Amino acid sequence: MPWDKEKALYKLQVFEVLLYHASEEGKEHLPSMWQAISLEIVISLVEYLGGDTVSVPRWQSALTPLGWNWQTQVNEVVTRALESNQNKINPALAEALKDLLEFKWKAERGESWCENQIRHLMMDMEKGFKSTFSLTVPFVENILNKVLSKLDEDTKKHCQAIGELMRPHIKKDLQYTAENFHW
């Protein structure tokens, strides 16, 4: 399928608005690990759509030998949540979220790994080996002055609700990171 610039821009805007709302409009820290952000969005999306979040793996699963198939489980949870709640979220946003969150296996030079589009979007945001990061003032101003005006009201409403639902999950993940990692 050829690259669609408008869809790619829309996905980026959705991701930025989710981070904006999840960070309390840029005032709070976010985890720097893309796996954590991905799963916080998944958990919050499932919660927003009224689904059972027990089946959603937590990002710490990726750090254990038992967690090798957690990416497949996430893909199944996201697909099931979006397909069974088609009336609750607009189709463009559902497609963007599915594309952002879907884990795919990659192989190159004899190595293989699993990733999603959020990993690539966060590469520009992460600064060194820190457990958290904050949205910059120019990033927040861009959201307020440009991005929000380009999104329809329905998408903004859904992104705000999902972003706000991410907050308690972020707090738990930041606490876990502080207790278990020293970087």
- For residue 7, what are its two tokens? 């869809």
DSSP class per residue in 54-121 = GGSPPGGGGGSGGGTTHHHHHHHHHHHHHHTTTTTS-HHHHHHHHHHH--EEEEETTEEEEE-HHHHH
Answer whether 16's CB lies under 8 Å from 143's CB. yes
Quick check: helix, strand or coil at residue 24?
coil
Answer whether 34's CB lies under 8 Å from 118's CB. yes
Tell me how far CA of residue 155 lies from CA of 44, 89, 176, in angstroms: 15, 8, 31
Q: Would you list the domain boundaries of the chain?
A: 5-124+133-180
Q: What is the pLDDT along the chain (183 residues), one digit of tens a residue?
A: 677 999 999 999 999 999 999 999 999 999 988 888 999 999 999 999 987 776 666 655 555 544 557 788 889 989 999 999 988 999 999 999 999 999 888 778 887 777 899 998 988 775 555 778 889 999 999 999 999 999 999 999 999 999 999 999 999 888 888 887 766
Helix 91-101 with 5-22: angle, nearest 10 deg: 80
Q: Is 43 left (phi over 0), alpha (psi -120 to 50) or beta?
A: alpha
- pTM for the full model? 0.88
CA 144/CA 87 separation, integer angstroms: 28
